[in-house]
C-alpha cells in the first residue's frame, strides 16, 4: 500500500487513531511491561531532554523503528522462553529441553545467541522510545495489540503476543541475493532470486512447538527447529536493510547517529543467523512433507548456495559503470518502511491481528516514508 494511494479521509482517520493510540501509550509508558521486564521509557524527571526538538520526519523515522523493534522483541522473547537462556536479564519462560536440543543441532551456542539477540532488541526499542520522549515526541506503544495466543508447549509463559510464530511463510531468497555477484535488487527490482528452501515459501509452518504434541516425532521437531533457524536470518536481514535506508532520510545528525549505530547490530545478527541456518540438517518432515535440502549438494551447491559463504558477495552498486562492491542490499530508501510492513505481513507474522493493528502499522510506515532530509 503506497501513501499516495491513501484517500485523504482515510488518512485523517488513521492519524486520529494513531494519535489516540500513542497518547494512551505515552500515558502508560512508565508501567507497561514486556514479559516481566519494565519498559525503559522516560518518566518525568528521569531523563532530561537534550537540546532541540525532533523534526516531524525524524520523529517518524525513530517511531517506526521503535515499533519494528517492539515487534522483534515480542517474537524473540517467544524463542527465548522455549529455546534460549533463562535468566533475570531476559525473563519469561522456563525453557523446553527437547526444542532447545534440536536448535543446538544447528549450533551448540544457539541458546546463548537467542538470549543475546532478544536482549539486544529489547534495548533497541526501549532506547528509541526513551529518546523520543526526551525530545517531547510520542513513543511507539503497541501494547493494546497484545492479543494473540502463543505456544502452550512446556516452557512457554503462556502470555498473549503481538506476533505469530506458528503460521510462517518464509522468503529465503536473501540467501541467494547475498551470494549473487551479478544482481542487486536496487538495480534489478524485478529479478527473482531463487529460494534457498523452496518449501518454506509455499505453505505455513511453525517455528516453535505449538503444544507438547509437536515434540515428536523426532524429524518433526527438528524441522520446527530448522524453520526457526531460517526465520531468524530472514527477519534480521530486514533490519539489516531498514536502518541504512531510513538513515538517508534523517535530518538531525544525532538521529543519523542513532540509525547508523543500531543498524550494524542488526547486520551482526543477520550474519550470525545466516551462518547457523547453513547447519540445518537436510530432512523431510513426516507430518507435513516440509523438506530442507542439502544446500551443498546438487541441484544446489556452488557459490549460489554453498553454506559457508556468509560474507556478502561483491555486486553491482549504484551503477553498473562502477566496479562491483560488497554492500548491504537493498538500501533504496523510497517506500522502505511500508515495504517492511508488507514483508512482515506476507510472512504471516501478524496472522490473527486486528484491522486496527494494520491501520496503525501502515500509518507509522507512511509517516516514516514521508520523512525528508532537511537542510
- Cα separation of 5 and 69, whole Å? 27
- Cα separation of 51 and 12, whole Å? 31
Place of cell 486496527: 356
Place of cell 502452550: 152
Q: Residue 211 pLDDT more than 80?
A: yes
The answer to whether the CB of 277 falls within 8 A of the CB of 300 is no
Q: How far apart are the first and last CA of the chain?
A: 29
Structure confidence by residue, pLDDT tens digits, 181-198: 999 999 999 999 999 999
- Cα separation of 337 and 128, whole Å? 16
Percent of the chain with pLDDT over 70: 86
Mean pLDDT computed over every residue of the chain: 90
pLDDT of residue 52: 76
Q: Residue 201 pLDDT more than 50?
A: yes
- Cα separation of 234 and 347, whole Å? 10
Specify the higher pLDDT residue, 351 or 35.
351
Structure confidence by residue, pLDDT tens digits, 117-146: 999 999 999 999 999 999 999 999 999 999
C-alpha atoms less than 13 angstroms from C-alpha of 65 in its C-beta half-sphere: 36
Q: How far is CA 39 from the centre of its chain?
A: 19
Name the grid cell of 166. 506458528
Structure confidence by residue, pLDDT tens digits, 251-308: 999 999 999 999 999 999 999 999 999 999 999 999 999 999 999 999 999 999 999 9
pLDDT of residue 93: 95
Structure confidence by residue, pLDDT tens digits, 333-357: 999 999 999 999 999 999 999 999 9
Percent of the chain with pLDDT over 90: 85
- Cα separation of 230 and 207, whole Å? 9
Q: What is the Cα gyration radius of the chain?
A: 20
Amino acid at each position: 500500500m503506497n501513501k499516495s494511494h491513501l484517500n485523504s479521509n482515510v488518512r485523517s482517520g488513521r492519524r486520529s487513531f494513531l494519535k489516540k493510540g500513542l497518547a494512551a501509550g505515552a500515558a502508560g509508558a512508565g508501567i507497561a511491561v514486556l514479559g516481566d521486564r519494565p519498559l525503559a521509557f522516560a518518566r518525568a524527571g528521569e531523563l532530561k531532554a537534550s537540546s532541540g526538538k525532533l523534526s516531524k520526519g525524524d520523529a517518524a523515522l525513530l517511531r517506526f523503528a521503535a515499533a519494528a523493534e517492539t515487534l522483534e522483541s515480542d517474537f524473540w522473547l517467544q524463542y527465548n522462553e522455549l529455546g534460549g537462556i533463562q535468566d533475570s536479564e531476559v525473563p519469561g519462560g522456563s525453557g523446553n529441553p527437547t526444542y532447545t536440543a534440536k536448535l543446538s543441532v544447528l549450533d551448540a551456542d544457539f541458546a546463548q545467541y537467542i538470549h543475546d539477540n532478544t536482549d539486544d532488541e529489547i534495548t533497541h526499542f526501549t532506547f528509541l522510545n526513551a529518546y523520543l520522549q526526551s525530545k517531547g515526541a510520542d513513543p511507539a506503544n503497541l501494547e493494546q495489540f497484545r492479543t494473540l495466543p502463543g505456544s502452550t508447549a512446556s516452557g512457554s509463559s503462556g502470555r498473549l503476543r503481538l506476533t505469530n510464530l506458528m503460521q510462517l511463510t518464509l522468503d529465503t531468497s536473501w540467501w541467494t541475493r547475498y551470494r549473487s555477484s551479478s544482481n542487486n535488487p536496487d538495480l534489478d527490482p524485478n529479478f527473482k532470486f531463487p529460494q534457498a528452501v523452496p518449501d518454506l515459501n509455499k505453505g505455513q509452518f511453525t517455528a516453535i512447538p505449538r503444544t507438547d504434541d509437536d515434540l515428536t516425532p523426532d524429524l518433526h521437531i527438528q524441522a520446527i527447529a530448522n524453520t526457526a533457524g531460517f526465520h531468524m536470518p530472514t527477519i534480521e536481514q530486514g533490519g539489516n536493510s531498514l536502518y541504512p535506508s531510513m538513515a538517508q532520510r534523517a535530518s538531525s545528525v544525532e538521529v543519523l547517529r542513532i540509525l547508523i549505530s543500531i543498524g550494524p547490530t542488526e547486520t551482526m545478527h543477520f550474519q550470525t543467523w545466516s551462518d547457523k541456518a547453513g547447519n540445518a540438517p537436510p530432512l523431510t518432515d513426516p507430518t507435513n512433507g516440509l523438506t530442507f535440502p542439502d544446500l551443498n549438494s546438487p541441484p544446489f551447491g556452488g557459490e549460489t548456495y554453498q553454506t559457508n559463504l556468509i560474507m556478502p558477495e561483491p555486486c553491482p552498486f549504484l551503477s553498473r559503470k562502477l566496479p562491483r562492491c560488497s554492500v548491504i542490499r537493498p538500501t533504496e530508501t523510497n517506500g522502505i518502511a511500508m515495504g517492511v510492513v508488507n514483508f512482515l505481513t506476507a510472512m504471516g507474522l501478524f496472522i490473527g491481528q486486528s484491522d486496527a493493528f494494520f491501520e496503525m502499522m501502515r500509518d507509522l510506515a507512511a509517516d516514516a516514508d514521508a520523512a525528508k532530509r532537511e537542510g
